[in-house]
Amino acid sequence: INRKDFVPAEVEKKSLAAKSMCEWVLALDKYAYVLKKVAPKQAKYEEVSAVLKSAKEALAVKEAELKEVTDKVAALEAACLSMEEEKRQLEEDMDRCEKRMNRAEKLVVLLEDEGIRWKETVTSMEREIEELVGNVFLSAACISYFGAFTGLFREKLVTQWLEHVKQKGIPVAERFDLIRVMGDPVTIRGWNIASLPTDQVSIENAILATQAQRWPLMIDPEEQGKKWLQNIGKNDGLIELRFTTPNFLRTLGSAVSIGKPVLVEDIGETLDPGIDPILLKQVFKSGSGIKQIRLGDSNLDYDDNF
């Protein structure tokens, strides 16, 4: 094999059959050489492969164990966050409940005082309900009759009326006061702001003017009542007239139809008969059900705000 002339080309010159034998021998020699070099490496590869496979299997087991632990840690972290959120919510609820309790304690303390006032108010209202008939009766009498009298004479009238009412057994307040029965403190305060004097007679006069069914007639040399009426009627479009005003009846009729307040000034001892239907409130309903009043020669629509 080691001979230089042991090659297929040289052997072919001697014998064709020997050439094939030469090629076979050379191939076996080469295979033996390769086998001698590769076999240990193949064995080593198989050994390393077995070790690698074992290591991978162990790694897979460890990774599974790691995943299990990681999942448990994630579950514990989620549970921890949930508990922290629950703790925060409970702290907020506790703080809110403490504030509510504090407010409730303050409210209870305040309601104790209010309870006393409420009991007094209930007692007062029960007494007022019991005395309602007599108080309303005297109020109607005051509105109807004592408008033209002075304050002192009004007090005498009320005292006499009160005695007669008590003699008849009608429930009534021990000390009757028209302002207390018929007046509203907020309304009266508004009247005072609108220039109404704060004395008792002036306030009583204002109640008579606003609560009576008839139109009020004011004797007002100092024009205090006029100024008050102008102020309270300003927002409603108060119309000021005199009997000498041109087109007096036409302007008055227009106010009746559109519901505007009217102040007639400087009247004498007698009044124009043409306004009698208005003074007497001779209101009627037309065939269509509309409220009307006859003024002069024509029927006018009547607005309840007039």
Count of Cβ atoms closer than 10 Å to residue 12 Cβ: 15
Distance CA 264, CA 242 (A): 5
Q: Is 270 helix (H, G, I), strand (E, B) or coil?
A: coil
Strand ranges for 149-297 from DSSP E: 239-242, 262-265, 283-285, 291-295
Tell me how far apart the 2 most distant CA atoms of the chain are, in Å: 177
Q: What is the pLDDT of residue 1?
A: 64
Using alpha carbons only, give the angle 20, 26, 29 rounded to the nearest 5 degrees: 145
Range 43-58 burial, b when 16+ CB lie within 10 A, else e: eeeeeeeeeeeeeeee
Q: From the first residue on, what is the mean pLDDT of each consecutive set of 10 residues in the chain (306 residues)? A: 72 76 79 77 82 86 89 90 90 89 83 75 77 83 83 87 85 83 87 86 86 82 84 83 83 84 83 81 82 81 80
pTM for this predicted structure = 0.56
**Residues across the chain:** 306
Distance CA 170, CA 166 (A): 6
Question: Could you give phi then psi for residue 288, rounded to 5 degrees?
Answer: -90, 5
